Amino acid sequence: MKLSQFKFKLPEDKIALHPMKYRDESRLMVLHRNTGKIEHKMFKDVLDYFDDKDVFIFNDTKVFPARLYGNKEKTGARIEVFLLRELNEELRLWDVLVDPARKIRIGNKLYFGPDDSMVAEVIDNTTSRGRTLRFLYDGPHDEFKKALYSLGETPLPHSIINRPVEPEDAERFQSIFAKNEGAVTAPTASLHFSRELMKRLEIKGIDFAYITLHAGLGNFRDIDVEDLTKHKMDSEQMFVNEMAVKTVNRAKDNGRNVCAVGTTVMRAIESAVSTDGHLKEFEGWTNKFIFPPYEFTVANSMISNFHMPLSTLLMIVAAFGGYDQVMDAYHVALKEGYRFGTYGDAMLILDK
């Protein structure tokens, strides 16, 4: 397929800048992919489409406060530093992006905090905006991490949510079951699940499986090739443990519904599938790029937000729900006033 097939006009006022007051009160569009039928519901109604022993697979990655602002030595120029991942605990080495990058060279020092108490030195260039920083900090690693994170802010994707970070974002840009730290963006479909809704799903007998995929900035990177087979995804670290494997495969073997909550979950489970269509344990990295046509093997339903035009996230959803049906559903969503993006509304795709 071609990149241009995923283009549509998205007015700015359709992009959600804030979450709904209650997580489970976003709108929910239900798309039945076998018939093309569309229903308009509230997110909490997701409960009505699943039964005892069905399984929801969640991504339990945890977002850390990855965006920092520092000053360059001598000039005092303000520099944004986006933490991507820690490379070496002992040496305090981090893989980061800097902006503006042209001002930051190897050997430069950056100062953070109101009293410049956190200092980092640039020790390598990795990409045009990428740098390796060594933080000059004496003291235990836990203490260093706490000090570093206290200087950071919630890493809202400014390409979508174009506003300053607010205090509520620290809680709302995180799922209620976030556990394993490592993501620089939230798995957005998870944000709709409240404690009350989780409890009601549990009472109904629905099982939960948790995998971890540390969502990175590649989710927002522009695709610069028209031929999608030539696009390379950024690698993301993921883990699928034995308990998740048992829960999912038992449901599959018993003919139950398996619902992937979000595109990150879908990519993870399709990266950890055996030749007989069962989920298998996995620890490593995935750069799997899913776009139509694609044969899915693990989940038979999925929940996702309404994504940006030309995004890899939209492509996964279109691959699962059928290109024509999903693009038609997006046009219906625009007409019906659904909210798009990270804090927007949700879509449930069912195969029945």
CB burial string 250-259: b at 16+ within 10 A, e below: ebbeeebbbb
Place 291 in a pLDDT band, splitting at 50, 70 and 90.
very high
pLDDT of the residue at 219: 76
Strands (E), the chain: 27-32, 38-42, 55-59, 61-63, 67-72, 78-88, 93-99, 109-112, 118-125, 130-135, 180-183, 207-213, 236-240, 258-261, 282-286, 301-305, 346-350
SS3 158: coil
Summarised one tens digit per residue, pLDDT across range 190-206 is: 999 999 999 999 999 99
Q: How far apart are CA 3 and CA 159, in angstroms?
A: 19
Q: How far apart are CA 298 and CA 92, in angstroms?
A: 39
Among positive and negative, which fits the CA dihedral 170, 175, 179, 185? negative
Asked if 224 contacts 206 with a C-beta cutoff of 8 angstroms, the reply is no
Beta carbons within 8 Å of 167's beta carbon, 6+ residues apart:
none
Domains in the chain, ordered, with CATH?
A: 1-61+168-348 (3.40.1780.10), 65-151 (2.40.10.240)
SS3 47: helix
Place 126 in a pLDDT band, splitting at 50, 70 and 90.
confident
DSSP 8-state secondary structure symbol assigned to residue 93 = E
DSSP 8-state secondary structure symbol assigned to residue 227 = B
Q: How far apart are CA 344 and CA 192, in angstroms?
A: 9
pLDDT of the residue at 127: 78
Q: How far apart are CA 223 and CA 245, in angstroms?
A: 33
> Residue 218: is its pLDDT beyond 80?
no
> Residue 128: is its pLDDT beyond 90?
no
SS3 192: helix
Place 352 in a pLDDT band, splitting at 50, 70 and 90.
confident
Q: How far apart are CA 346 and CA 352, in angstroms?
A: 18
pLDDT of the residue at 73: 85
Model-level pTM? 0.94
With tokens 């139509």, the residue in question is: 292
Give residue 74's identity as a one-letter amino acid code: K
Q: Which of 278, 262, 92 is nearest to 183 (CA)?
A: 262
Beta carbons within 8 Å of 111's beta carbon, 6+ residues apart:
70, 71, 72, 73, 118, 119
Summarised one tens digit per residue, pLDDT across range 35-92 is: 999 999 999 999 999 999 999 999 999 999 999 999 998 888 899 999 999 999 999 9
Summarised one tens digit per residue, pLDDT across range 95-115 is: 999 999 888 999 999 999 988
SS3 125: strand
> Residue 213: is its pLDDT beyond 90?
yes
Least confident of 19-23, 126-130, 181-185: 126-130
List residues bridging with 98 in a β-sheet: 81
Q: How far apart are CA 313 and CA 238, in angstroms?
A: 17
Asked if 316 contacts 268 with a C-beta cutoff of 8 angstroms, the reply is no
Q: How far apart are CA 64 and CA 182, in angstroms?
A: 7
Q: What is the mean pLDDT of the chain?
A: 94
Element (H, E) at 142: helix 141-151
Q: How far apart are CA 259 and CA 263, in angstroms?
A: 11
Task: Kindly state the percentage of the chain with pLDDT values over 90.
Answer: 88
Per-residue tokens: 230: 């030539």
